[in-house]
Structure formats: C-alpha cells, structure tokens
Amino acid sequence: MDRTTTMDRGTGTARTTVAERTARRRNRDAPDTAASFARLADLPAGAERDGLRQDLIAAWLPMAERISLRFRSSGETPADLRQVAALGLVNAVDRYDPRLGHAFETFAVPTIVGELKRHIRDHAWSLHIPRRDQELRTAVRAAQTALGQRDARTRPSPAELAAECGLSEDEVLRGLAAEGVHNTLSLDHPVLGADDLPLSDTLGGTDPALDLVVDRQSLTPLLRALSERERYVLYWRFFGNLTQKQIGARLGVSQMQISRILSRTCARLREELLAPAAAPQRTPAPS
C-alpha cells in the first residue's frame, strides 16, 4: 500500500497520511510568495512597495521564529533570539533577487542562521574568546554528547574526544578550556565544599605596597644624594625603630638636633619627589 496515498475503506475518500502531515508541518511557515517577490523587484520605491515588503516579512516571520528555536540553549532569551532572527529575515527580504532563479527559503535560511550565530558569538559569551575556540567548544560538546550516549559510565578522555570529532588533543583541550567562559559565576555564588562561603571571599585583593613601588624607585637617587649623617638618621629612625634620643646618643648630639635633621631631610625629600621636573642630582653634602 502506498504510504502517501491511502483511501478510507468506509467512505472511499482520501485520508491524510503521516508523510503528508509531516510535509505540511515542515512547510507551514514557507508560504508561496514567488509572485510577490517578482512584483517587489519591479516596483519603484514608494508606499506600495513598502506595504508589499511588510507583507512579505510578516508572511515569513514564523519561519524565522522557528529557526531561532534551534539556538534556545545558547543562553540568550527567546525574545532576543526572535528579534535577531527577525532582523536576519528583514536583511534577506531586502537582499533577495528572484531573477537569479533561487527560492527565497534557500537564501533566507542561511542569512537568518548567520545573523543568529554572529549575535551569539558577540553577545552570549561572558568573555570574548577567538572564534576558533568557540568552534572547538561546540565540536567537543557534540563529541561528549555522542560518547555519553554510548557509555555514560565513564567520562571520555581528551584522546577519545579527539578521535570522535576528528581534532587533535591540543584542540580538544582548547575546546574544554573554552567551556568555562561561556557563562561566568556571580561573586555571591557559594564555593563547592565550603559552607556559605561566597566566591568573593576566596579572591585576593590589591596589595597596598604596589602603590609605593614608583615612589620608592623615585626616592632611591634622592637618598643617595643625602649626607652620610642624614642617611644614618633616616635609617635608624624608620628601619631601626630607634627613638630620637637613642639616635642622638649614637651620634653624640642632642635629641632636638636629631628632630631638626629629620624634619629638614623629610621636607627636602618630599619637595624633590613631588617636583614636576626631575631636579639635577645634588652633590652629597659633607658628613
């Protein structure tokens, strides 16, 4: 019996078969608009052409929305995907030339799919990575799915994934590394194995000493230009943690003299360090 043409034995009328219903579902969003596109190509710019263009877009919009469903696992919202697919449809309608002899659907589908892929590549990834790494990630995920369906008990190795998808092990490792950057975690996300510990508490902070690196490097030649006694006073006070009285006892001077040396030396260093232009190096003063 022909599966596509069957007759109802009771009534003698033709019945719709499974193959016919499948074909109708597949083509329900592919209207016959060949005559409209031919007419659109001949119409000059104006209200009539704009109206026909809008009608064609509306007629093919269900197809664009159906194509957008293929990318629902990309992380983008269905509304955004429909909007991008509609944009691709508009571009296809504007660029389609019926005089080339190709059906509109064969031209529109790659255009819409390309628009969706570009949008996902540019917006759906939390971090921007090279397009090749995105393609490797997709190939590796497909290989993981295929191998998981055959044997879900073990996790496939990079060598098995490479053999499945026809890539080198280095390319598989690049695809696996790209898996983690598609979606990033919130800083409030709990860390695995820790009770109520957010991810932010495991991150390091900025070392305050980094802000002093430039100042220390700039201060080095200025310190070399100090007299020997000034260098000793600064070293014992700020690195030896001696009091002014103890420093004075070592140098045989009073605590008041040490205080004046500290104040005068620090003020001069601060002035030279903050000067807009580097001052010429001074000759070390006699000790």
pLDDT at 21: 47
- What's the CATH architecture for 131-183? Orthogonal Bundle (1.10)
Q: pLDDT for 168-178, tens place per residue?
A: 989 988 888 87
pLDDT at 258: 92
| Amino acid symbol at 192 | L
Provide the token pair at 96. 């389609």
pLDDT at 114: 92
Please, what's the b/e burial string for 254-283 (b: 16 or more CB within 10 A of its CB; e: otherwise)?
eeeebeebbeebeeebeebeeeeeeeeeee
pLDDT at 11: 43
Q: Is the pTM of this model over 0.75?
A: no
Do residues 38 and 102 lie in contact, with contact meaning Cβ atoms separated by under 8 Å? no
- Specify the CATH number of the domain 216-273: 1.10.10.10
Residues 6+ apart with CB under 8 A from 263: none
Q: Pick 31-124's CATH classification: 1.20.120.1810, 3.20.20.100, 3.10.310.30, 3.30.9.10.
A: 1.20.120.1810
pLDDT at 17: 47
pLDDT at 7: 42
Mean pLDDT by 10 residues, the chain (287 residues): 41 43 52 91 92 94 93 83 94 92 92 90 68 82 84 81 89 82 68 70 77 82 90 91 92 92 92 68 50
Fold match, 31-124 / 216-273: no
Q: What is the largest CA-CA distance in the chain?
A: 128
Q: Where are the domains of the chain?
A: 31-124, 131-183, 216-273
Q: Is 228 left (phi over 0), alpha (psi -120 to 50) or beta?
A: alpha
Give the closest residue to 82 by CA, choosing from 60, 64, 63. Answer: 64
pLDDT at 124: 64
Mean pLDDT of the chain: 80
CA distance 104 to 107: 5
pLDDT at 48: 93
